[in-house]
């Protein structure tokens, strides 16, 4: 930037000439659990109101944007860039791949409703994937509906790039919310109705084995033909998983075949501040790439929309609707990932905005799909 602006950064830093700087920041960005309590809540500067920031969790050290270290991380093996088509269905339910749990970390704070975990799986480089794809997981045990048969496959969006969190192409990460059931009459948890796979993954220990299928999916693949393109990413909860992979590829990794110079704009809807997922990583991108990344949160239990109701992600979309529609008219890609219940409210909002602009939403949506700008993966 032309002038130095003080912003919050994630660590105590040395001079930029010190090579330990990048390693320190990288360690911080990969240490994503909520157990580090040395942060305070702070809001970085709004750069002339161009960018909307989340309430980032940052260490209390300042430096100028000009001083921010933008050196990216080397990744291996380079052969992962050679394939022209995404890998698909390398392992099927009848012959899954046996991988190993490397780590499980809680992502959310104590005031978050429920528990969400970041799970790193070591596949040894044998189950390659592209950003935006999913793995299938077969939990251990017998399918109660089919005695003698294994459980059905559960699909999870992959929350890392093809190089994994270790940047060596041997791991994949999943973002998993533990599924629990509470009896509406007693208000108590009923263990007999808990989610089999999510609880298996969240309870897993390093060294445990996990059965994988896939990878699968082409709808959410990140288009890389135009490095200057705009990508509008809308998520609720764990639907942020594929976007974490996109953003690491855009802003963290040194990939010679994809040098992103466009705009990535993330909308994330969760219950409260403690429920924000990968917030520190996203804040780091804001600090390092203020011209290429925007980050807007909707905290339904802490914020109000303009009508005084709870703030949901569709309310944020409405706030920025003029700009979003202009970007879509210019060829931007828009992605939706999360619970299927998010889509009716979003569709209603987009339809209402389109009509206010004198456009027919059905026709506009058809054009977006025809031009492959519209990407949806809900569950």
Provide the annotated binding site for NADP(+).
157, 177, 238, 300-301, 310, 338-339, 377
Q: Is 157 a catalytic residue?
A: yes
Measured between alpha carbons, how far is 169 from 301 in angstroms, rounded to an integer? Answer: 38
Catalytic residue among 157, 160, 173, 198: 157
Sequence-distant (6+) residues with CB within 8 A of 332 are 229, 230, 231, 232, 263, 324, 373
Beta strands 6-9 and 61-64, pairing class: antiparallel
Q: Is 377 a catalytic residue?
A: yes
Q: Is 173 a catalytic residue?
A: no
Measured between alpha carbons, how far is 28 from 30 in angstroms, rounded to an integer? Answer: 5
Tokens matching residue 48 = 């002339």
Q: Are 247 and 278 in contact (CB under 8 A)?
A: no
Phi, psi dihedral angles at 65 (to 5 degrees): -60, -35
Helix (H) or strand (E) holding 230: strand 230-236
Measured between alpha carbons, how far is 91 from 109 in angstroms, rounded to an integer? Answer: 35
Q: Is 202 a catalytic residue?
A: no
Looking from the CA of 185 toward its CB, the CA atoms found within 13 Å total 0
Catalytic residue among 91, 129, 156, 295: 156
Enumerate the β-bridge partners of residue 172: 121
Q: Are 256 and 190 in contact (CB under 8 A)?
A: no
By annotation, the residues acting in catalysis are 156-157, 337, 377, 379
């Amino acid at each position: 930037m032309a002038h130095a602006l003080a912003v919050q950064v994630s660590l105590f830093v040395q001079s930029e000439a010190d090579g330990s700087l990048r390693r320190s920041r990288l360690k911080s960005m990969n240490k994503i659990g909520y157990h580090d309590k040395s942060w305070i809540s702070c809001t970085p500067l709004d750069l002339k109101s161009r960018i909307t920031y989340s309430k980032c969790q940052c260490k209390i050290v300042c430096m100028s944007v000009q001083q921010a270290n933008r050196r990216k991380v080397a990744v291996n093996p380079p052969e992962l860039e050679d394939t022209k088509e995404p890998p698909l269905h390398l392992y099927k339910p009848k012959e899954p791949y046996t991988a190993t749990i490397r780590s499980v970390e809680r992502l959310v704070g104590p005031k978050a409703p429920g528990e969400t975990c970041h799970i790193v799986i070591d596949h040894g480089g044998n189950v390659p994937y592209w950003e935006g794809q999913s793995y299938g997981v077969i939990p251990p045990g017998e399918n109660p509906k089919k005695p003698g048969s294994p459980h059905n496959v559960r699909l999870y969006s992959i929350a890392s790039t093809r190089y994994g969190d270790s940047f060596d192409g041997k791991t994949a990460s999943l973002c998993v919310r533990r599924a629990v059931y509470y009896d509406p009459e007693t208000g108590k948890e009923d263990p007999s109705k808990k989610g089999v796979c999510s609880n298996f993954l969240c309870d897993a220990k390093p060294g445990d084995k996990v059965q994988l299928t896939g990878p699968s999916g082409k709808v959410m693949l990140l288009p890389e033909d135009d490095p200057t393109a705009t990508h509008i990413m809308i998520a609720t909860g764990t639907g942020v998983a594929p976007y974490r992979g996109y953003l690491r590829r855009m802003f963290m990794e040194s990939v010679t075949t994809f040098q992103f110079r466009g705009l990535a704009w993330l909308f994330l809807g969760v219950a409260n501040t403690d429920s924000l997922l990968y917030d520190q990583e996203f804040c780091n991108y804001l600090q390092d790439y203020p011209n290429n990344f925007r980050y807007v949160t909707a905290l339904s239990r802490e914020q109000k929309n303009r009508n005084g109701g709870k703030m949901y992600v569709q309310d944020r979309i409405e706030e920025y609707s003029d700009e979003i529609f202009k970007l879509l008219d210019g060829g931007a890609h828009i992605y939706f990932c999360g619970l299927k219940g998010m889509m009716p409210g979003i569709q209603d909002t987009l339809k209402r905005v389109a009509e206010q602009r004198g456009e027919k939403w059905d026709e506009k949506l058809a054009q977006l799909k025809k031009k492959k700008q519209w990407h949806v993966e809900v569950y």
